[in-house]
Amino acid sequence: MNAWELLFRGDAVSSGVAVTLLAMSVTSWVVILWKARLLQRALRDVPRCTAAFWQSPTLEDGLRTLQAFDRESLVGPLVQATQQNTAGTLAAAGDAAQRLTRVLRDALHGVLLKLQWGQVVLATVGATAPFVGLLGTVWGIYHALIGIAGAGQISIDKISGPVGESLIMTAAGLAVAIPAVLGYNVMGRSIGRIEADLEGFARDLRDLLITQSPPSD
Read off the pLDDT of each residue in 67-86 and give the average, rounded to a whole number. Answer: 82
Geometric angle at alpha carbon 10, from 1 and 171, rounded to 5°: 70
In sequence order, what are the residues at sequence separation of 6 or more whose Cβ sits closer than 8 angstroms to the Cβ of residue 100? 82, 206, 209, 210
- The answer to whether 199 and 75 are in contact (CB under 8 A) is no
- Say what the pTM is: 0.79
- Residue 56: give the domain boundaries: 3-82+92-212
User: Does residue 126 have a pLDDT over 90?
Assistant: yes
Q: pLDDT higher for 30 or 79?
A: 30
Going by pLDDT thresholds of 50, 70 and 90, the confidence category of residue 130 is very high
In a domain, 100, yes or no: yes
Please say whether the dihedral angle defined by the alpha carbons of residues 121, 124, 129 and 132, taken in this order, is positive or negative.
negative
Quote the number of domains for the chain.
1
Going by pLDDT thresholds of 50, 70 and 90, the confidence category of residue 108 is very high
Read off the pLDDT of each residue in 122-142 and give the average, rounded to a whole number. Answer: 89
Q: Tell me the pLDDT tens digit for each residue of 153-178.
A: 666 666 666 677 678 888 889 999 99
Supply the pLDDT for residue 89. 64
In a domain, 13, yes or no: yes
In a domain, 207, yes or no: yes
Q: Hey, how many other C-beta atoms are within 10 angstroms of the C-beta on 139?
A: 18
Q: pLDDT higher for 70 or 180?
A: 180
In a domain, 87, yes or no: no
Q: How many helices (H) and strands (E) does the chain have?
A: 7, 0
**What percentage of residues in the chain have a pLDDT greater than 70?**
79
In a domain, 59, yes or no: yes
In a domain, 217, yes or no: no
In a domain, 194, yes or no: yes
Q: Minimal CA–CA distance to 75: which of 159, 194, 155, 187? A: 194
Supply the pLDDT for residue 43. 92
